[in-house]
Each structure stands twice: as C-alpha cells, then as structure tokens.
Structure 1
Amino acid sequence: METHWRDLYPDVTAAGGLVPAIKEAAKLSEGEIWPAPPATDAVIVETARGLLSVDPATEERLFRVRVHIPGFTWDIPGFTWGIGSTDDLGSLVEAVAAWREGVPFDKLAVRFTFLELDEFAGALERGEPTSAQWADLLSSEFHRRQWNLLRRLHADEVLRDMFPTISHSAVRLRVDLFDGASRQALVHELDGERYEVVRVGVPGADWVEVPTDELIAYLRAALNDR
C-alpha cells in the first residue's frame, strides 16, 4: 500500500508528506496546517470559514477536500461536508489558499471548477449557516424520526439560534458553530413525553431524564451556563 501511495503521489512523497507539500506550495505559516488526528494521511487547514481537511484517496490519485466543524474533541463527531476533489496538487493548494483568504464562493466556483459549493456553503458565506441547517434537518426524510423533537426545539426563540446536528439519533445543539469547545447538549427522545439530555464536554456529566414540560427550560439553562 505504501509503494502504491508513493506511485500515486510522487510529488507529495518528494516533499516529505502532505503537510510540508501544502505548506511549501501555499507558503502557509506554522500552526495553520497540521495532521488530522487520529493518525491519517489527511491534513487540516484552519480558516475563518471552518477547518478545511484534505484527504488523499488510496486507490487513485485524488485529493478530497472537506469543510469540518469540529466536535468538542476529535472523538466527538462534528459537522463535515465535502466540497470537491482534484488530482492536481497545485490547483488544490490554490483553492485552499483562496478559501482561506475569503474569496467569495461564487468566484471560487468559477475559478476552481472541481469545487462543489452547495447551498450550505452559500449560507455559510451569508452568515446564515444555522438557519440553513435547521431548514435542511426539518425537511430531510432521513431525519423524519427526529422531526417532532426538532420542531419543538426550533420553536423556541433561544434554541433556534443554536447550531443543530444529528448524532446517533440524538439532536446535538451547539452555541458556537465554529468553536469545537463551545457549550453543547445532546437531546434524545425516549417516547414523546420524556427526553434524555447530556451536557457534552462537562466532566462527569451523564444523561439526565427530563420531562416534556421542562425540556426547553433545562436546555436553555444548560447551554447558557458559563
């Protein structure tokens, strides 16, 4: 596999790996790009519009680009979506640098045709990723089982400002989309009348059963507690 990888990525091998290859090509300073934990061939580039991850394929020469909003730790899932792929390291680096510099998404799409900038990326640029995410989850047939809970949470004027994701059938609410250590809570619906809630990242926190009529107040308190 290692020999096969070297054959696919001789330029990366010659540079000493993907991290130095991208740093050398993009002239990014130290601390702005690093290997993605756990140990993989992927790298992470920090930007004001989320973390960009670059993941080289193993069966063909292809650099896959994703945007990653981290979880509380790398062991806790965050929010990730693919934005394209290319076999050209030079084009990849130029696209990463342009994304990092804040080039508008419509110009990025024209300049780098391999990028696939969807509606969420547009919402991110407009500063509306949270409302776009709520709309997506509330209209997704895949998440139909969570619709009742999502609607209950979204109806609250405070909780609808939290960024929602679905994690193992539970709804995760995060105060700050771009901060992996931001206050978060997981809500799991038991039977429509009872819920379990856990405060993510709080030492010793465990699932707490919360009745329906107390759910909103409990979540407000948990997510606003400093």
Structure 2
Amino acid sequence: MTSNSPRPARHEPLPADPDLYPDLAAAGSLAAALALAAAEQGLDLGAVLSNDSDPLRTVGVTSTTPGREPCWIFIGSQSRWFNINGPCQGVQLLSGSTSDLGELARAAAGWRDGARLREIQDDAAFIEVSELTEAHELGPAEAVTVKWRLLLEGLHQDADRLDLARQTLALAEAASAEPKLRQLYPFTSHWSLHFTTCTGFPYSWDVPFIDPLSDGRYRVCGPSRGTVIGEGDTAAAAIAMVVGALPANCGPAVAGTANDQRQG
C-alpha cells in the first residue's frame, strides 16, 4: 500500500556562522576547535562527544569523576556565545556562557578532571556557582540544609503579597520543625509543598505532599497526585498527616534521582 502524503523534509543542522565563529570555521567543527583551544593551553579533553541531533553545533566532554555526567556545550545562532552545562546525580552543577573558546576549554577540562566548582570558576570566570550548587557538591545533608533555608527565605519574601505564599510559608515552617521532614529535600510546585527522599531530579514521589486551599485550609495528597489522605484546618494538622503517612525507613535524603533509587 502506497501513500500520497509527502514525506517530512529532513532538516540538516546548520554549521556555525563563520562571521560569528571564524575559529570554528577554520577548524572545521566545534569539536575540533574546542580540542585545539584545549591543546594550546596544555589541556586534554579526551574524546570529545558528538550530539547526533546537532553534531555541528553541540559537543560533550566526559568526566573522570564518578557521578558527573558529560558536560555539553552548544553555541548561539544570533550572537557569539558558548553555553556549558554539567549535570551530576540529577543536579545541574556546572553552568555558564562565554564568548571565549579558550575559557570554555578550561571549564570543560576542569569538569573532566574532577575540579571543584570554585576551582573551575577560578580558571573560567564565566562559570556560575550558587550557594545551592556548592551545597550539592558537599553532599546530600548539606544540600538539604541549604535548600530548607533558601525555601523559607523565598517564601518569606513572597508572603507579604500573596495569600498562598503565606499558607505555604506556614507549612514550610511547621515542616522544618519536624525532624522526620527536615531530613528530606523540600520543594514547592504551584505553592504545594513537597518532600523528596533524593536530592536530584527527577525527584521521588514516595512522600505525601500538601496543597494550600483557597479557604485557608490544607489538603494532604499522595504519594500519587490523585490520592487524597485528608484535609486539615491548620498547617500543624496537615504536617501531622504527612508524618503519619511516611513510608517505612524514610530519610534522610540521599544523593541521586528517583531513577537511581528504583535501579538500586
């Protein structure tokens, strides 16, 4: 049986604009130009990876450090910039943008060699290092501690202007005072307060979560979104319901993702 429907056109990735990237054009590819920039500084990036979906504009550099995935680099089309992203155990640790290919090569080499984020930043100033990414680098316990503080600080700022933020703040304050929840990694989504047993994304969904309601009350659901455990008039009542429905041996949160937990 034949079809008269036209086949979808195949779009080949465009090479780098030689006006924006004369160094890439001269080297023949982003991978070759990056390797050359590294070699000129005495750095070894190993075998540079190619992205099959965009081989002319995207490359990756593997890391020798366990847990660190390859960092991926892609280029801008309207202006000259190189963006680098390096995930580790479900957390985006390495990030930043620069127009300097040599600086980019130093950042990629640092990631490959296992340098800490601040060490990479010392060699490549464009690398962004936040308090939370540094905490993740120190381990899950530090990440949980910093995440709780930043979550509460952010909710305090929003609570002056948003009713739902005030409700979620009351939840977070009550939860942070409960040791069984304080050891989990917290996050909010549409003002719902969630707790996960891992610090990397995708997060786990094995702990109940709490939705603030428009009438000032709270609904506790979980672990699936369609399962309602109950409703409470106060934040303390909602927190008590979560604690009562925690899975056995829950916490403290560990590094990695929900996928890692399933595989383990």
TM-score (norm 2): 0.58
1:117 shift after superposition: 1.8
Verify: 1:207 aligned to 2:218, yes or no. no
- In 2: Cα distance, 1:11 partner to 1:223 partner: 53
| Alpha-carbon displacement from aligned partner over 1:156-206 (angstroms, at most 9, x marks no partner) | 32322222233333334332224647555572413254324344xxxxx44
Alignment of 1:156-167 (within 5 A): 156-167=178-189
Larger of the two Rg values belongs to structure: 2
Tell me what 2:151 maps to: 137
Q: Indicate the structure with greater strand content.
A: 1
- In 2: Cα distance, 1:149 partner to 1:57 partner: 42
User: How much is the aligned-residue C-alpha RMSD, in angstroms?
Assistant: 4.2
Tell me what 1:124 maps to: 136
Tell me what 2:219 maps to: 195
Tell me what 2:106 maps to: 94
1:137 shift after superposition: 0.8
Tell me what 1:6 maps to: 17
In structure 2, relative to structure 1, the CA distance for the partners of 1:121 and 1:86 (3 Å cut) is same
In structure 2, relative to structure 1, the CA distance for the partners of 1:62 and 1:15 (3 Å cut) is same
1:147 shift after superposition: 1.6
Gaps of 5+ in 1: 72-78, 200-204
Alignment of 1:40-51 (within 5 A): 48=66
- In 1: Cα distance, 2:158 partner to 2:51 partner: 32
- In 2: Cα distance, 1:164 partner to 1:214 partner: 17
Q: 3-state SS of the aligned residue for 1:54?
A: strand
In structure 2, relative to structure 1, the CA distance for the partners of 1:80 and 1:121 (3 Å cut) is closer
Which letter maps to 2:82? F
Is the 1:83–1:115 contact (alpha carbons within 8 Å) kept by the matching residues of 2? Answer: yes
In structure 2, relative to structure 1, the CA distance for the partners of 1:42 and 1:16 (3 Å cut) is closer
Alignment of 1:150-189 (within 5 A): 150-178=172-200, 180=202, 182=204, 185=207, 187-189=209-211
Identify the match of residue 106 of structure 1 among 93, 118, 124.
118
Q: 3-state SS of the aligned residue for 1:6?
A: coil
Work out the number of aligned pairs and report it. Answer: 209
Is the 2:209–2:220 contact (alpha carbons within 8 Å) kept by the matching residues of 1? Answer: yes
- In 1: Cα distance, 2:190 partner to 2:33 partner: 36
In structure 2, relative to structure 1, the CA distance for the partners of 1:11 and 1:208 (3 Å cut) is farther
In structure 2, relative to structure 1, the CA distance for the partners of 1:209 and 1:125 (3 Å cut) is same
1:134 shift after superposition: 1.2
Which letter maps to 1:104? R
1:135 shift after superposition: 0.8
TM-score (norm 1): 0.66
- In 1: Cα distance, 2:33 partner to 2:206 partner: 36
- In 2: Cα distance, 1:197 partner to 1:95 partner: 43
| Alpha-carbon displacement from aligned partner over 1:74-106 (angstroms, at most 9, x marks no partner) | xxxxx6577432112332132123134332333
